[in-house]
DNA sequence: CTGTGTGAAGGCTTTCACAGCC
DNA sequence: GGCTGTGAAAGCCTTCACACAG
């Protein structure tokens, strides 16, 4: 098996998509799927799907295809989310509180276990199970609950300083929604979702 | 100038980022910037920045750098958003209503001009300037207001059918938040933001 | 015959190295 | 000297072609 660093980052993204497709197949009682069918559902070419899988081993049966639940479990292992992964959210503004209410994470193996803000407003977590804390409780909480992942939904101005707090507290992965580049040490991973950039990118392609 | 199709999609993404950096420089009264400084702010290598720009022409002065406001205007022209671009949002759930409240778009040249839902709930657009319509008013509105872009925040089950509605109404670009692949004709562009996939991707990289 | 696994080829993006201009 | 512009090289990812297994 190649070391993590040899595997295209895009392949990892696609694994997640494959897995979601597999879940739906499983719900529909499908037991076996060909690379062709699964690839079509995921919106990629079948050769790419097979290539992506070979980075981690051989899971198919030639002439037949893949066992749906087995492949799903294997991908889950690779992605490291067969058990529920706790996540904290920092910055409970409009976007932050919407994400707290968004149920889609749990199904995919993530649970937002707590939220933090510089000035906690309890109304913002109404109708959720999430507890809201002042941001100065962050480090203690992260340590006690062994949280490794954080969602960052603070204003641009605060992004870098809060990110530093997260890193110091021991957070290893950050999903950043602030439209700015944040600097982190080597061992911390950041994925950024930049809504305005996505819109601008679209506007380029409409003539 | 190379045709749109020859230009790496990633370059277009980076143009948006460069432009945001330029805006901040302009706010700070900076008039000239080197590729090195701008690249650092955008989190890329300076050679990449220069290469990205050459797809569209030559804008710098050797030995000096780039004129901030001039370069900003040029990139704005390329991205096609020097004038305010109207956008509609379909699916006013948690995420949808959060995006309506999120002010960050307007600064970047986009304005959400209306929202649509199968069962419009006025409470969801409280404290916004956005008008909420039943989804059967969609086609008429799009035509009357010459809207070309849409944000899609409906549940997975509805994603494809609503997407078809959008396409039929004449929408040319869709920013899709539903965690599923949507099929559209050749001439329509789709960017997908998949929050669960982003989280899963992160969880792979924490050991 | 069907469908996976995979080295090799091809294509796309980034980086290098340096020419050219201020 | 400083910094941009750019062809060429390198690196990365996707696709092809086909060997191989059921």
Phi, psi of A34 (to 5 degrees): -90, 160
Of A42, A78, A189, the CB nearest to B181: A42
A1 pLDDT exceeds 80? no
CATH 1.10.10.10 residue ranges in chain A?
A: 4-78
Q: Is B79 in a helix, a strand, or coil?
A: helix
CB count in 10 Å sphere of residue B60: 18
d(CA A185, CA A204): 34
pTM of the model: 0.94
Q: Pull the structure tokens for residue B81.
A: 């958003």
Residue B150, strand partner residues: B88, B174
Please compute, for residue A72, the number of CA atoms within 13 A of its CA located in the half-sphere on the CB side. Answer: 18
d(CA A45, CA B15): 29
Confidence of residue A5 (pLDDT cuts 50, 70, 90): low
Q: Report whether B177 contacts B151 (CB < 8 A).
A: yes
A37: which residues sit within 8 A by CB, 6+ positions away? A65
Q: Report whether A74 contacts A15 (CB < 8 A).
A: no
CB count in 10 Å sphere of residue B204: 20
Say if A56 is an interface residue toward chain B (CB within 8 Å).
no
Q: Is B163 left (phi over 0), alpha (psi -120 to 50) or beta?
A: alpha
**Worst-scoring range by mean pLDDT, A175-179, B33-37, B103-107, B177-181?**
B103-107
Chain centre distance of CA A79: 10
DSSP letter (8 states) at residue A20 = H
Residue closest to C1 C1′ by Cα: A63
Highest averaged pLDDT of the listed ranges A4-8, A133-137, A198-202: A133-137
B window 26-65: Cβ near strand C (< 7 A): 44-45, 47-48, 51, 61-64
Q: Pull the structure tokens for residue B134.
A: 């039943």
Give the chain A residue whose CA is nearest to the CA of B4. Answer: A205
**Worst-scoring range by mean pLDDT, A20-34, A98-112, A162-176, B64-78?**
A98-112
End-to-end CA, chain B: 45
- Mean per-residue pLDDT over chain B, rounded: 94
**Rg value, chain B, Cα:** 19
Q: Any idea which nucleotide's C1' is nearest the CA of A62?
A: C4
Q: Report whether A162 contacts A135 (CB < 8 A).
A: yes
How far are the Cα atoms of A149, B93, B204 from residue B197, in angstroms, in the given order? 14, 20, 11
How far are the Cα atoms of A88, A92, A100, A141, A149 from residue A115, in angstroms, in the given order? 6, 7, 8, 10, 12
- Distance in Å, alpha carbon of B61 to nearest chain A alpha carbon: 26
B1 pLDDT exceeds 60? no
Q: Report whether A152 contacts A90 (CB < 8 A).
A: yes
Say if B41 is an interface residue toward chain A (CB within 8 Å).
yes
Q: Is B168 in a helix, a strand, or coil?
A: helix
State residue B81's pLDDT score.
Answer: 74
How far are the Cα atoms of A64, B93, B173 from residue B179, in angstroms, in the given order? 28, 15, 17
Contact at CB, B109 and A200, closer than 8 angstroms = yes
Of A110, A198, A201, the CB nearest to B199: A110
Give pLDDT tens digits for B152-184.
Answer: 999 999 999 999 999 999 999 999 999 999 999
Q: Report whether B204 contacts A79 (CB < 8 A).
A: yes
DSSP letter (8 states) at residue B28 = T
CATH of A4-78, picked from 1.10.3720.10, 1.10.150.120, 1.10.10.10, 1.10.940.10, is 1.10.10.10
Give pLDDT tens digits for A111-159.
Answer: 999 999 999 999 999 989 999 999 999 999 999 999 999 999 999 999 9
Say if B126 is an interface residue toward chain A (CB within 8 Å).
no
Chain centre distance of CA A206: 29
CA nearest neighbour of B163 among B90, B87, B86: B90
End-to-end CA, chain A: 46
Which fold does the domain A85-198 belong to in CATH?
Rossmann fold (3.40.50)
Give the chain B residue whose CA is nearest to the CA of A10. Answer: B201
State residue A2's pLDDT score.
Answer: 58
Q: Pull the structure tokens for residue B58.
A: 């030559």
**Rg value, chain A, Cα:** 19
A42 pLDDT exceeds 70? yes
Q: Report whether B107 contacts A200 (CB < 8 A).
A: no
Contact at CB, B148 and A206, closer than 8 angstroms = yes
Confidence of residue B103 (pLDDT cuts 50, 70, 90): confident
CATH 3.40.50.720 residue ranges in chain B?
A: 85-198
Burial category of B120 from C-beta neighbours within 10 Å (exposed 0-12, middle 13-18, buried 19 and up): middle
């Amino acid at each position: 098996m190649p070391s993590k660093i040899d595997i295209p980052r895009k392949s990892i993204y696609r694994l997640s998509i494959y897995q979601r497709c597999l879940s739906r197949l499983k719900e529909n009682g499908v037991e076996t799927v060909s690379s062709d069918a699964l690839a079509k559902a995921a919106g990629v070419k079948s050769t790419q799907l097979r290539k992506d899988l070979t980075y981690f081993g051989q899971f198919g049966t030639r002439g037949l295809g893949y066992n749906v639940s087995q492949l799903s479990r294997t991908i889950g292992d690779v992605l490291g989310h067969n058990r529920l992964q706790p996540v904290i959210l920092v910055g409970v503004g409009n976007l932050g509180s919407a994400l707290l209410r968004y149920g889609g994470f749990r199904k995919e193996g993530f649970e937002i276990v707590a939220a933090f803000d510089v000035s906690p407003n309890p109304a913002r977590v109404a109708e959720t199970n999430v507890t809201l804390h002042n941001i100065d409780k962050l480090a203690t909480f992260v340590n006690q609950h062994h949280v490794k992942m954080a969602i960052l939904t603070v204003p641009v101005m605060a992004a870098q300083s809060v990110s530093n707090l997260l890193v110091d507290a021991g957070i290893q992965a950050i999903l950043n929604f602030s439209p700015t580049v944040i600097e982190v040490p080597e061992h911390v991973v950041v994925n950024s979702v930049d809504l305005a950039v996505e819109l601008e990118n679209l506007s380029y392609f409409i003539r």
